[in-house]
Chain A
């Protein structure tokens, strides 16, 4: 595992975005060989904000002409069941407004689970097949919840789970109510989510964790054992994982752990410096 610690949220978002940018450009994606990227969706309302800063930096790199998503395929982690696709709180809307509409990705290369089909199980299985057909995921980016979950794999989820339907915990539904006019009856109660196993199959995993409210989860994820109560801990058994966090997220870690990884920052920074640009490869 690499634990990359930046001073604050903005720097952590930027580091993560630079990493994604360099990975895509180094890969030199073409029409015959797409770069497959797994993406975290909208803020789970119980853990707001995290991927937004990273998306904003990626959009900036695109607008500067340094990064193109033309040969990138994306797979999002989750989506609500039963929420109309154009509802402002759906993850489709989130991805469109915060990412897709600002970049040059082609619509047929984006994949988000459809929570409005009649056969949800079939939709989940089809999603797994699409990932396989695309050649597997090169880099899966995700965040974690305060309870250590990845995507909607809440505590107790199998560490070898695949894409499936999950019922939301009461706390999550109540936390989400404010985005649905405080009307509990309008809040979705189920989601479709990739499984822990699905993310584990990716060739590389990057987890973004910022904020003091995630600190305990980070501690459980990397300093304690692999445990289905803290599903992110599964990545201890993945050969290529990076955790990108800010100072606040490290508050529950041992000083020894933090010092060790901070001491490695000069090595970690070689992954993002020099920053590559599509312009260098365009001619």
Chain B
């Protein structure tokens, strides 16, 4: 029975026989979609006296919001930090492949690079909606170059920078443009970082602390200036110490301004963090946990030597090292693998594992009014999963963009 079309002529699809992640619980509810958004069936019934045009039987599977990866450096041979070749095509290739992992939106990440790379690449990585061509780009994550030398990890030392005056001038000189930038990772102990943090926060760019030697009070000051994320907790920062917890202490700090929260990224690939450490962080501050892949160029590729930023890396099994060293240089796990691994080692609920990869990153980027949830009126980006949390189908704007 067709609707009376009083609001819209667009077809309405009803996904039945499914459990949807809503209000932090998996519920036996149907999911209704129209014109790329989640539709309220109650409003449809009473206000429009409408009906579904198509019904899709989900076979008892789980429907969760599409996964969001805020730290991914490339994959499938593509390196976002390389300025060679067709940058947009490279991003598009990765964007298309990650649909298979249930990722519907992501932040292409640039590691520490020289200014000319930033000036060239940043304007090419535009914010754009996802679709059948690939996951949507939410904005760029600039990881560096204003980071600590001692905690640079795989970042090339010669391109690290410090703030001269700290304000816009430093940022613009280095990056060139800040449009299309969603997040910047920096080390707050660098002199004059406060002004930079305030400048970036003021522009709606998420400031993340990482690759840093900061102690807890420096980290807290950064949070007071607007920082609200920690880049791959535990990695590339001082270890937790019981008399100076360092950046890790932000998880339980009592000096976070009221009404704000600190989120923290974790690479749950089983390699970057010991499961016990993952559990400690999760139990200390479950609402702030954001799963990230920090995937590198080699993700999706066979073992061997590949390029990341300005360096060579070496793939051995599920490990990716800076060539010739034992320093990890990012992971090659996929987002859905991270969700499964996190659930398995933390013993958390399915809902919590899925939210760590969807709702929390959306909240971090302040876009949870349209992404990361299945609330009425939000974008219909979602994944269909079976009970082992394997992705079976991916949808963007209500359209199926990938199926197993």
A85 within 8 A of B: yes
Chain A, 52-96, contact with B by CB distance < 8 Å: what is the 0/1 string?
000000000000000000000000000000000110000011001
Contact with A along B26-60 (1 / 0, CB 8 A): 00001000000000111101111111000000000
Docked complex Cα distance between A108 and B42 (Å) = 13
Q: Does A107 contact B (CB under 8 A)?
A: yes
How far apart sit A108 and B49, CA to CA, in the bound complex (Å)?
6
Q: Answer whether residue B1 sits at the interface, using C-beta atoms and an 8 A cutoff.
A: yes
**Neighbouring A residues of B48 by C-beta, 8 Å:** 107
Supposing A106-B1, A107-B51 touch, asked if A100 and B43 sit within 8 A by C-beta, the answer is no
The minimal Cβ–Cβ distance linking B229 to chain A, given in whole angstroms, is 33
> Which residue of B1, B30, B46, B49 is within 8 Å of A85 (Cβ)?
B46
Cβ contact within 8 Å between A107 and B41: no
Number of interface residues of B (CB under 8 A): 14
Structural contact, A86 and B40, CB atoms closer than 8 A: yes
| A101 CB–B CB distance under 8 Å | yes
A100 touches B40 (CB 8 A): no
Shortest Cβ distance from residue B84 to the other chain A in the assembled complex, whole angstroms: 53
B27 to chain A, nearest CB (A): 11
Measured CB to CB, the closest approach of chain B to A119, in angstroms, equals: 19
Q: Per-position contact with B for A95-133: 1 when CB-CB < 8 Å, else 0?
A: 011001100001110101000000000000000000000
Q: Which residues of B contact A107 (CB under 8 A)?
A: 45-46, 48-51
CA gap between A244 and B40 in the complex, in Å: 36
Q: Which residue from chain A places its CB closest to the CB of B48 in the assembled complex?
A: A107
Q: Which B-chain residue is minimally distant from A108 (CB atoms)?
A: B49
| Alpha-carbon distance between A107 and B40 when the two chains are bound, in angstroms | 14
Residues in A neighbouring B40, C-beta threshold 8 A: 86
**What residue of chain B has the Cβ atom nearest to residue A106's Cβ?**
B1
**Contacting residues, chain A, for B46 (C-beta < 8 A):** 85, 92, 96, 107, 112
Shortest distance from the beta carbon of B34 to any chain A beta carbon, whole Å: 15
B 204-246 to A, binary, CB cutoff 8 A, 1 in contact else 0: 0000000000000000000000000000000000000000000
Question: Chain B 59-72 against A: per-residue CB contact (8 Å), 1 yes, 0 no?
Answer: 00000000000000
Q: Which residue of B lies closest to A105 (CB)?
A: B45
Q: Which of B1, B45, B49, B50 is packed against the most chain A CB atoms within 10 Å?
A: B45
Per the bound structure, the CA–CA distance linking A110 and B49 in Å amounts to 9
Residues of B within 8 A of A100 (CB): 45
Which residues of the other chain, A, contact B1 by a CB distance below 8 angstroms? 106
Determine the chain A residues whose CB is within 8 A of the CB of B50 once the complex forms.
107
Residues of B74-130 whose CB lies within 8 A of A:
none
Q: How far is the CB of A114 from chain B (nearest CB, A)?
A: 9
* A101, B41: Cα distance in complex, Å: 8
Q: Which residues of B contact A97 (CB under 8 A)?
A: 42
Q: Which 4 A-B pairs have the closest CB atoms?
A: A107-B49, A96-B42, A107-B45, A108-B49
A contact residues vs B (CB 8 Å cutoff): 85-86, 92-93, 96-97, 100-101, 106-108, 110, 112
Q: Given A96-B46, A101-B42, list of 12 further CB < 8 A pairs?
A: A85-B43, A85-B47, A86-B40, A86-B42, A96-B42, A101-B41, A101-B45, A107-B48, A107-B51, A108-B4, A108-B49, A110-B45
Q: Please, could you name 19 A-B residue pairs with CB atoms under 8 Å apart, sorted by A? A: A85-B47, A86-B40, A92-B46, A93-B42, A96-B41, A96-B42, A96-B45, A96-B46, A97-B42, A101-B30, A101-B45, A106-B1, A106-B51, A107-B45, A107-B46, A107-B48, A107-B49, A107-B50, A107-B51
